[in-house]
Amino acid sequence: MRIPFTRNVRLAAVAAATALSLTGLSACGGSSGSGGDAKSLEMWTFKQSHVGALRDAAAEFKKQTGITVKVEAYTPDDAYTTKVQSAAKTGDLPDVLEVHSDGEDRTLGAAGILSDLSGDFKGDWAGRIQQSVQQSGLVTAQRFKDSQPTTAKDHGIKEGQRFSVPLTVGTFGIVYANKKMLAEAGINKAPADWEEFLAALKATKAKNGTTGGLALGLKVQSTGLNWVLQPLAFSQLGQSAYESLFGKDKNADFASPNGLKVLGMYNALTPYWMPGAQTLTIDQADQAFAQGKAAFDVGGTFTLAFLQQNGMKPDDVLAFGLPSPKDGAIPHRALGPLALTGLSLTATSEKPDNAKKWMEFLSQQKVAAQFAKAASDVPATELGADAATVLGPTLSALVDSFKGTPRTTYDPSRGNEFRAPGYEQDDAGAILADLTPLRQQSVEATAKKLRELNASYWAAAQ
């Protein structure tokens, strides 16, 4: 799966990066691609790994309702966006679209392609969705405010509208380890803390110098920062001191003792990167891991399905959240989930009631659990106490990474509240890459550059 990214730190807008400008593009009238049969629907997705699971759900849906759902995938993401744009112009949109959450949905909604679901997503339907992502798809006051510039891709949306309902959730900072390589190095369990993680890397690297290391798509500049350094720093320092790394106070920023500490911890990974890690895209890094070119891979919950598509079985890997430092402020940190994909009703659907029945059906606990197992992905539906039994050990480990209190959970969607306006994570990521794996800068020089970068953003914001 290609991971959506923006240069800006606001992960809530990730989908907008893949949604080309749809300004001025509105859905034409006429029938959808599913024709005039009142007992049939059409749904499009951009995730190939979801197709089988959705078709299985559609078969059960037909048994219960008599309504047929035809599911089609168009990949990669850019091709999907183009397909939707073209269909919107010709009036050939399906009834239901799977969309990137909190970005693409609003862009399509602003263009008149999607229907407002604010009056439908409530009661039992909303109650089945994990509380942390229930507002995904909703035009909140802040999202409405952000849409006000005429240059915004979602300009024209209104506060209170809802253009998608959550389907899948996930988070970054998930480590996948090759069980066979671990066993060869004498390791049979997930590292309990950062120190054990480094020791495991050292052991697998010592066992095999060329394939025992760590894969991460560092060609995407933000990954090292966003997926490793930030959750590591949060664990080491606690939320307040972590957020101060990005502030104006030189006594607490990246060049402070706290900053130097976490940069030094991050730099401890330097001996263990797989060869050429800095040149790999996210997909290439995941593929390298699946091909046995690295013992460890850092990704997200969504990576499991991609690994499966590339020949690894869930039982082949050990999955766990990036370990926290043993003596840090939060030694048992959780990773907060984000809504990743949602379901949207197109404005041209001639069967909106049946389409909404299908969307709500997918949120049912039993259906969502079966979807999760078939797609190797984490559903937005709260699966309850039996989730571990239903999902199996690998998917359960991913879900377990979400479990924490507000104080102990690193929330990757939290970004603009404590950073300078206009902050771009790729700029900081590029500075980090010079530290590791490129070894072109020391910890101290990196800290100074990050301080200067932060200061430039704060100065520009005045």
Q: What's the token pair of residue 409?
A: 């959970």
Has residue 392 got a pLDDT over 90? no
CA distances from 143 to 79, 107, 153, 159, 313 (A): 27, 12, 12, 8, 39
**Could you tell me the pLDDT band of residue 271, with boundaries at 50, 70 and 90?**
very high
What's the distance, CA 342 to chain centroid? 12
304 close to 372: Cβ distance less than 8 angstroms:
no
Distance of CA 276 to the CA centre of its chain: 24
Average pLDDT of span 318-337: 94
Q: Mean pLDDT in the chain?
A: 89
The CA-based angle 162-166-168, given to 5 degrees, is 155
Mean pLDDT of the 55-64 span = 98
Residue 8 pLDDT greater than 70, yes or no: no
How many Å apart are CA 398 and CA 404, to the nearest integer? 13
Rounded Cα distance between 113 and 143, Å, is: 19
52-56, 69-73, 118-122, 279-283, range with the lowest pLDDT: 279-283
What residue ranges do the domains of the chain occupy?
40-170+338-383, 172-335+409-461
Report how far residue 84's alpha carbon sits from residue 90's, in angstroms, rounded to the nearest whole number. Answer: 10
Pairing relation of β-strands 165-170 and 338-345? antiparallel
Report the first-to-last Cα separation within the chain, whole angstroms. Answer: 39
40-170+338-383 and 172-335+409-461: identical CATH topology = yes
Whole-number pLDDT of residue 37: 63
Q: What is the mean pLDDT of residues 162-177?
A: 95
Task: Over range 174-189, report the average pLDDT.
Answer: 96
How far is it, in rounded angstroms, from Cα 122 to Cα 170? 22
**Which residue type sits at 441?**
Q
Residue 80 above 60 pLDDT? yes
Q: What is the predicted pLDDT for the residue at 11? A: 36
Residue 169 confidence (pLDDT) above 80 = yes
**Residues in CB range of 7: below 8 A, 6 or more apart:** 222, 424, 425, 426, 427
Q: What is the pTM of this model?
A: 0.79
Question: In this predicted structure, what is the pLDDT of residue 110?
Answer: 95
Q: What pLDDT, on a 0 to 100 scale, did the predictor assign at position 21?
A: 44
At 337-353, the pLDDT tens digits run 899 999 999 999 999 99
Indicate the fold that domain 172-335+409-461 takes in CATH: D-Maltodextrin-Binding Protein; domain 2 (3.40.190)
**How many residues appear in the chain?**
462
Give me the mean pLDDT over the 74-86 stretch: 90
Q: What's the CATH code, domain 40-170+338-383?
A: 3.40.190.10
Is the pLDDT confidence value at 259 over 60? yes
Max Cα–Cα distance, the chain, nearest Å: 67
Is the per-residue pLDDT at 9 higher than 50? Answer: no
pLDDT of residue 415: 62
- What is the rounded distance in angstroms from the CA atom of residue 426 to the CA atom of residue 432? 10
Residue-wise pLDDT for 272-299, tens only, equals: 999 999 999 988 999 999 999 999 999 9
What gap in Å lies between CA 139 and CA 88, rounded to an integer?
Answer: 22
Q: Average pLDDT, stretch 258-275? A: 98
